[in-house]
Amino acid sequence: MKYLSRISTTVLGLMFLVSAFAKAWDAESFAELLLQYGPAWFSVGAPIIICMECLLGVALLTRFRPRHAAVAGDIFLVLVSCIFAYGLAAKGIEDCGCFGFLSKLHTGKPWMTFVRNAVFIAVSIPAIIDKQAQKERYVLPKGVAAMVTVAAACFITGLAMRRSFELPDLPSVHTDSRQQTMEKLNAIYPFSADSSYVVYLFSFTCPHCQNSFANVQQYEQLHVVDKVVGIAVENDEARERFYRLYKPEIDILTIPNDQMSDITGSLPIVLLIEGDTIQNAQSGSVTSPGIFLP
């Protein structure tokens, strides 16, 4: 039983660490997957899950309280299996995202995910029933190993998710008159004198911009204005991700960062334009178009 217990904790520990670092390396995609389960704040679960898997992996590999670590690992596997079952039944999500970018470890069918998790739970049994597990030794080195591993995972996760939260490097907000700003916008888009517009100045990587995007689109969908025009900072990679997530129904033009900074120094900005005149400007948030409807 002693050797079976060691094999059990080693296999489980390696599984958790491989899973954690594979997710960390592509944390942005894992966060996107979590968004499919519910509200936007679900993406915060990505680094939390990665850190939990790191701690479980180190505890099992170093045999720090091996019986407790194995039980905790089983609880974790049951919990994520239940979450995946909900996503599969309620949201049609078939990719559990368990091993991040390591596509070779992805299960081909959703039911195989549950089988795989059940196998890992079965593997943990020798570690759980081994009452002769050695007493705690080398507690300090094990603690240091855990902290170093989690720190490395957090660093990689932060590096992978950095693009999702960064803002463009723009100078302070300009004090141009609305007429001067309108002249700059006319050089970008042909506004009609007999139409009304909402112009949305934003960045594909700005989280506040993404939060406001649904409201912006509704101005045209609910016919509050004739047309909504998006103007974003150029970023081909972020643009592809943005279109994949939000499937915009409005025209979006892209301009260089220096041209955007010549118009405004903060994002997002919403401009209400009637004809060739800026009637109203909002910064940081977008008013719901519903308040303008009867």
Give the domains, in start order, of the chain with CATH numbers: 2-165 (no CATH), 178-292 (3.40.30.10)
Q: What is the pLDDT of residues 181-204, one digit of tens each?
A: 888 999 999 988 889 999 999 988
Q: What is the pLDDT of residue 140?
A: 60
> What's the sign of the alpha-carbon dihedral 60, 66, 72, 75?
positive
Contact 219, 198 (CB under 8 A): yes
Three-state DSSP class for 103?
helix
Query: Considering only CA atoms, which of 91, 135, 93 is closest in space to residue 110?
Result: 93
To the nearest whole percent, how much of the chain has pLDDT over 90? Answer: 12
Length of the chain: 294
> What's the sign of the alpha-carbon dihedral 213, 219, 222, 228?
negative
Three-state DSSP class for 11?
helix
Confidence of residue 164 (pLDDT cuts 50, 70, 90): very low
* Whether this model's pTM surpasses 0.75: no
Q: What is the pLDDT of residues 225-257, one digit of tens each?
A: 999 999 999 988 889 989 988 899 999 999 998
Q: What is the pLDDT of residue 67?
A: 85
Q: Give every CB contact of residue 1 below 8 A, 6+ residues apart in sequence.
A: 126, 129, 130, 132
